[in-house]
Structure 1
Amino acid sequence: MTYEVFEQDEIKYVKYREAIAKAIWDVCMGMSEGHGDDVYGGEHGHGSQCIRIAVLGAGRGPLIAASLSALQDVNQLHHTSHTIHVLGVEKNPNAVITLRNRQVTEQWGERVQVLG
């Protein structure tokens, strides 16, 4: 199977985005309840935690994009200013090139780190 086949299922990525948003909110609520930054990936003050997500087998980046969008959804819905750091790990050198290109063209910047 190719990346195109996986990426054709747009509903799947919408569901991923929704699930990631729920997980981000759960993590943020855990931080605000004093569960500590060691468990949840770092705290930058009330209402502005840094969420860390690892995407293993990142492919060409749809789960990375879903993670970034999910954080934006959480911040807009709950009037917060959380930040995110996504680590995308990919072994396919061609997909790594695509990820690095998306990092520039979609302005992922320092929010995304690509390892390949």
Structure 2
Amino acid sequence: MVIPCTLGEHFVHRFRREMKLEVEPTHEWYEFDIRKEGGKYYIEGEWEMFVSIYNIKQGDQIRFVIGTFIHEHLTLGHIRRLSGSGCIALPRCTIAEYEAEQQLREMDECTSSVDTH
């Protein structure tokens, strides 16, 4: 995800390139890396998992509503979609369920690539 430069500079200053988020309602932790390339800042790390769990699509604009900030991590009150309905983004599954989905997908890829002839 590309983020605005002023926000990227703030994140890098505050978190030194690594950021941890605790997101309600599940209170699960996500760890992100903040990378600067050229004049842009990018969020990486567990971002792909986060996007899948919260069903964030390309072109979505989201707002992180911060609950508390303690040292190296943020606790979010919620994530609000600014694009579309403007509703609160709710998780479709937990991190453990997401990881189980990924393991099943990898197993399916392995078994479907085996030639049985």
Superposition TM-score, scaled by structure 2 size: 0.25
Superposition TM-score, scaled by structure 1 size: 0.26
Whichever structure has more strand as a proportion of its residues is 2
Who wins on radius of gyration, i.e. which is larger? 2
Q: Which has the higher contact order (CA 8 A, sep 6+)?
A: 1
Whichever structure has more helix as a proportion of its residues is 1
